[in-house]
Structure 1
Amino acid sequence: MPPVDRRRSLVWLPALVLLLTVAQLAVATFVPGIERFADKAFGARLAAYPVMMLLVPALWWLVVRRRRPDADPPHVAFALIMLGFLVDTTGNSLDLYDSITWWDDSNHFVNWFFLLGGLGLVTARELRPAWAQVLLITGLGCLLALGWEIGEWYTFIRHGTELDTAYEDTLGDMTLGTCGAFLAALVVLRVSRGSSRG
């Protein structure tokens, strides 16, 4: 019996994260009368989240797989990129945003750690010098945090009840996201150094 390649056998991991996220988004969008999903743009999330979750794997497949057909897909990195979307959706499903005061803030830090950890493993793992790797991952995290906040404002803050506190919340969310990206950059740097020694 041929040995199982562990890296290839992890294809189920990002697939499971995607499936769990889409299932919850579908419930939030199509099952009527669940108040915790009201006014949170779940129809837009159902359309946008799967696209955002699959963007990096699709780009990897188009770019890397074409150049190096024998390259193993980074399934763990793909799952990390997708994990923040699952955490966000699950937080809404379990009503954690409204029942735990610090949940939203912790999500901006933790989800950006996941997202930029995955993106860093895909894009910057072999980048040298080390400071450029950290700068790229952290800067990308800051830009993505800004884009996320603009998306939040456009989809449900500008006409919602949170407009009075949106400025302070946005600054805090962007700061936490950038800090999560910085921590992810340090972890990717450590992983990169470890794999280059081995």
Structure 2
Amino acid sequence: MRPGSDRLARDPAGAPLWVVVLDVGAKVLLVLAVSRVALDPAWGNLEGKAPGTRALTYPLLAFLVPLAHLLRRSGRPYPWLVDLMVTVPAFSDILGNRLDLYDRVTWFDDAMHILNTGLLGGAAVVAVGYVGAPLMRRLVVSVAAGMTFSVVWEVWEYYAFVTRSAEVGTAYADTVGDLALGWLGTVCVAAMIGSRSSERQDSQPAARRPAPRLPGATVS
């Protein structure tokens, strides 16, 4: 293992090549997919599911991290892992609808709410440098960020197409269930994301254990 290859557990900028490849690939495929959906909603199985709005908002989500990094102008390395974790939810929704998994697989929607909300919460944990922080700090950041995204998504979904679809009668129960699953995802990711770092720190003498990096702190 080359020196520094384990920085990913502590530093969002220390991403290996596969993270960069997946991130760039997901973005390219997402842009191509939403372009096709904008022209032909039936291609993405998105008839009646606000295809035009998705074609606009998904690229905005996928390019949120690049935009924030550009505006920040901090000179810090690019946070590839955070970018990938934010891009996956948009890409997975387009891909899942294209393959018709939301309608053909009964548990797929539930799994996506757990995974995607968890990824968004986990992205916030990595972004602020709390991967090696105590569990309670990771939970606070992950749940706050993930559930904020989840609430925004449910509100957008309700007004974008649910009120005009056959799902309106069951929308309340579905929303409550989705929020609960999203919360579960944020908790699981917060617990998992610091496990390797915690194990590594536990194996070091107390005097040598690095303090959790606070937002804005530099990594030596």
The structure-2 alpha-carbon separation of the partners of 1:61 and 1:125, relative to structure 1 and needing over 3 Å to count, comes to farther
What count of residue pairs does the alignment treat as equivalent? 191
Unaligned runs of 5+ in 2: 6-13, 202-208, 211-220
* SS of residue paired to 2:177: helix
SS in 1 for 2:77: coil
Separation in 2 of the partners of 1:44 and 1:142?
A: 21
Alpha-carbon RMSD: 2.6
Q: Does 1:165 align with 2:170?
A: yes
Equivalent of residue 180 in structure 1, options 185, 188, 210: 185
Any idea what the Cα deviations from partners look like across 1:50-99, whole Å, max 9, x if unmatched? 11111123213433x42xx2x32221221121111111110100011111
- Structure 1 residue 195: Cα displacement: 6.9
Q: Distance in 1 between matches of 2:156 and 2:194?
A: 30
What TM-score, normalized by structure 2, do the two folds share? 0.76
Q: Which amino acid aligns with 2:68?
A: L
The list of structure 1 runs, each at least 4 consecutive aligned residues, that deviate by more than 6 angstroms after superposition, is: none
Deviation at 1:123, TM superposition (A): 2.2
Is contact 1:124-1:137 (8 Å) kept? no
- Cα offset for 1:128? 4.8
SS across alignment from 1:72:
coil
Give structure 1 stretches of 5+ with no counterpart.
Answer: none
**Between structures 1 and 2, the one with greater helix share:** 1
TM-score by length of 1: 0.84
Shift in Å at residue 189 of structure 1? 2.7
Residue 58 of structure 1 is aligned with which of 51, 59, 67?
67
Q: Does 1:135 align with 2:144?
A: no
Corresponding residue number in structure 1 for 2:82: 77
Q: Contact conserved, 1:36 with 1:95, CA < 8 A, in 2?
A: yes
Tell me the amino acid that sits aligned with residue 159 of structure 1.
R
In structure 2, distance between residues paired with 1:187 and 1:58: 28
**2:135 touches 2:190 (CA, 8 Å); kept in 1?**
no
Paired residues of 2:133 and 2:194 also in contact (CA < 8 A)? no
Q: Deviations over 1:146-175 (max 9, x none)?
A: 111000001000122110000000000001
Matched, 1:26 2:35: yes
Quote the Cα distance in structure 2 between the aligned partners of 1:106 and 1:133: 22
SS in 2 for 1:107: helix
CA contact under 8 A between 1:82 and 1:115: conserved in structure 2? no
